Structure 1
């Protein structure tokens, strides 16, 4: 892992804010004290954007507490000059499935030009920013805390492209819905870099997008970008999404609830296998299975004694994706103690037991699992018969090194 460059740049300093009173993670009033980055931006009268032409990278999650989209809010406010929108994977309005986008169009609600950024990076993305005529690129998208969720790499690519185009980046921070208590899981090896992981961070990074932006700028970008983070107030690292008082909008079509986000950092690994990860059901990433799997898998998984979770024998018929229209057997994940639950360890436990009890288990032929885990190690250890403890222990040193670097960039 190479995360040694500790440059702290003047342009990366986060905007300071006065902390509000603390509240427990389960207390509903916490949400009324929390202010997102966008709420702080409005309260400050858009001062940091005064006199600039502004574009924003966002999607349906860019909403206010009362469920208005921030693009609509800014477009109607003469204190800010919003001139462009940049759509990520799934699109600005969120109509595209995984691996798709909405293309270039004019937004019917505001008339603003919407540019497609999906799978664009480097000079091609810099040229889009230049053509749009913006001075500053805002970013406001709800993340879910997993390295392979692509919006954080959209942020990374936009930062790199903005640096090439001579633009500034302002990140409007939002909570990590599965808390920011710790980083867990394997750290990406650079030779496995893809759009589901550009740089060596942990599989469950435990950071907000604002903190990640600071990390990207300070550790990874060859040419750092002028960066400001409009930080939240009132968020505590122990807070799950329901403590924030914010509405949940699915960040992508297969992330329907905060419960999905809670398990995703572990069960998304099943994208790298021939088992269904639950796409095409009402519980994606909570339902896993394949034809020929029976109750032995749930029993074996429960025998592991993984903290905070139990497994139910389940049968389902996906309406699309793997096993479309077929009835498959498998497990449903039931998290009963989310504070104790470790999604990455759970994902490894499910892989180990699936391989043990189902003779048909196989990795995807392209070894996509290596891109998701960040190296060959998880796949080769499981193939060699390693248990959960051995697999988890294998990434211990790299995770400890990442956690140390991560500490420099935390804001809360």
Structure 2
């Protein structure tokens, strides 16, 4: 099983324990980014070991080549790889790439893949953001899909398999999922799928504020409100004021608060940062991609001499150099968002349609 701590049953048991209690011949555990136990920070994983609660061997799959992964699968002597990963619905969240690579690796050694599906926390209806260009494929985006794709992991697995030219995964489907609703409507327990997404609200904003990981601005890692807090030592209270002015259009469903913090780790660790906390007051009204672009434009317009892009990383997150180029030439948030609408709509209505497992109704 390729899994992590968020793979739980509705009564809180981990899926691996549930399978063992059902007398399944579970042979090994495979860990993605953050590890099987979920103790590793961003860009890290847990070392291969033996899982203390099940006695099963643990293989570390994070950011390994397909050839390396296929070797692990062969070594584990399994017939089926069950994939149970609670995703967050954003293209650059690496569990999607782990699934993509697992499908490719399993095909090399004749192992079947079965996805144990889970709800997309952002719902399955809204699709938004830039579509990845193939030249920018990486571990933060393998396939040409929008940032907010509105697909479950099983649906993504079917799309990825078609793209790879391998057999589609088996699926244990969701029962009763309403694609129009966000995660809290499921009434299921929220287990952080990574250490810095502690709540469904942080996961809701993540697809927009994560772009700032490709800049010299903190997204609040090392604080209690990651991805809801944006700041830097060189910002001032004018940043929150500028965001408030933009709120009616780009920050629907959000109240902006001037905020200060001292991150315990990650960017600006031990330094006081000034910025803004994005308080979600109406989750259904929030467009995380509009939030991200609005924040980036505010930073550019007020602090052009201080804002810095980590060009390569920013472009990999965005899926091309288009967003960075648009920001540098002074495009407005509205112009940037409008440029993404037609490609995202085509993906929603045409490209993903053959792989959907659950009904979608309403506007994209």
TM-score by structure 1 length?
0.84
1:129 Cα deviation from its structure 2 partner: 0.5
Equivalent residue of 2:352, what SS? helix
* 1:321 is aligned to 2:266: yes
* 1:386 is aligned to 2:323: no
1:366 Cα deviation from its structure 2 partner: 4.0
Q: Pick one of 69, 72, 75 that aligns with 1:131.
A: 75
CA, structure 1 residues 176+72, in 2 after alignment: closer, same or farther (shift >3 Å)? same
Q: Pick one of 346, 349, 354 that aligns with 1:408.
A: 354
| Count of residues paired in the alignment | 354
309-318 or 267-276, larger mean C-alpha shift: 309-318
Equivalent residue of 2:28, what SS? strand
* Structure 1 residue ranges (4+ consecutive) displaced by more than 4 angstroms after TM superposition: none
Contact conserved, 1:168 with 1:226, CA < 8 A, in 2? no
Equivalent residue of 1:270, what SS? helix
Q: Pick one of 222, 226, 231 that aligns with 1:284.
A: 226
Contact conserved, 2:99 with 2:157, CA < 8 A, in 1? yes
Measured in 1, the distance between the counterparts of 2:268 and 2:284 equals 33
1:288 Cα deviation from its structure 2 partner: 0.4
Matching residue of 2:278: 333
Contact conserved, 2:88 with 2:203, CA < 8 A, in 1? yes
Matching residue of 1:362: 307
Measured in 2, the distance between the counterparts of 1:217 and 1:363 equals 38
Measured in 2, the distance between the counterparts of 1:319 and 1:231 equals 40
Contact conserved, 2:254 with 2:286, CA < 8 A, in 1? yes
Contact conserved, 2:129 with 2:344, CA < 8 A, in 1? yes
CA, structure 1 residues 193+363, in 2 after alignment: closer, same or farther (shift >3 Å)? farther
Matching residue of 1:310: 255
Structure 1 stretches of 5 or more lacking a match? 1-55
1:363 Cα deviation from its structure 2 partner: 3.1
The C-alpha deviation readout for 1:252-296, integer Å capped at 9, x for no partner, is 111111111010000001101101011000000000001121222
Measured in 1, the distance between the counterparts of 2:93 and 2:16 equals 23
Matching residue of 1:206: 150
Contact conserved, 2:216 with 2:310, CA < 8 A, in 1? no
Mapping for residues 91-110 of structure 1, pairs under 5 Å: 91-110=35-54
Matching residue of 2:190: 248
Contact conserved, 1:363 with 1:369, CA < 8 A, in 2? no
Q: Name the Cα RMSD after superposition.
A: 1.3
CA, structure 1 residues 339+226, in 2 after alignment: closer, same or farther (shift >3 Å)? closer
CA, structure 1 residues 226+130, in 2 after alignment: closer, same or farther (shift >3 Å)? farther
CA, structure 1 residues 361+409, in 2 after alignment: closer, same or farther (shift >3 Å)? farther
Contact conserved, 1:160 with 1:225, CA < 8 A, in 2? no
Measured in 2, the distance between the counterparts of 1:408 and 1:298 equals 43
Measured in 2, the distance between the counterparts of 1:391 and 1:363 equals 19
Measured in 2, the distance between the counterparts of 1:260 and 1:97 equals 16
Matching residue of 1:273: 215
Contact conserved, 1:162 with 1:225, CA < 8 A, in 2? no
Measured in 1, the distance between the counterparts of 2:331 and 2:238 equals 19
Q: Pick one of 117, 126, 133 that aligns with 1:182.
A: 126
Contact conserved, 2:234 with 2:306, CA < 8 A, in 1? no
The C-alpha deviation readout for 1:371-399, integer Å capped at 9, x for no partner, is 11111111011111110111112223322
1:171 Cα deviation from its structure 2 partner: 0.3
TM-score by structure 2 length?
0.94
1:360 Cα deviation from its structure 2 partner: 4.2
1:116 Cα deviation from its structure 2 partner: 0.9
Contact conserved, 2:116 with 2:171, CA < 8 A, in 1? yes
Equivalent residue of 1:83, what SS? coil
Equivalent residue of 2:90, what SS? coil
1:400 Cα deviation from its structure 2 partner: 2.4
Equivalent residue of 2:36, what SS? coil
Equivalent residue of 2:331, what SS? coil
Equivalent residue of 1:347, what SS? helix
Higher radius of gyration, 1 or 2: 1
The C-alpha deviation readout for 1:320-357, integer Å capped at 9, x for no partner, is 11111111111111122222211001100100011111
CA, structure 1 residues 382+364, in 2 after alignment: closer, same or farther (shift >3 Å)? closer
Measured in 1, the distance between the counterparts of 2:106 and 2:211 equals 32
Contact conserved, 2:127 with 2:345, CA < 8 A, in 1? no
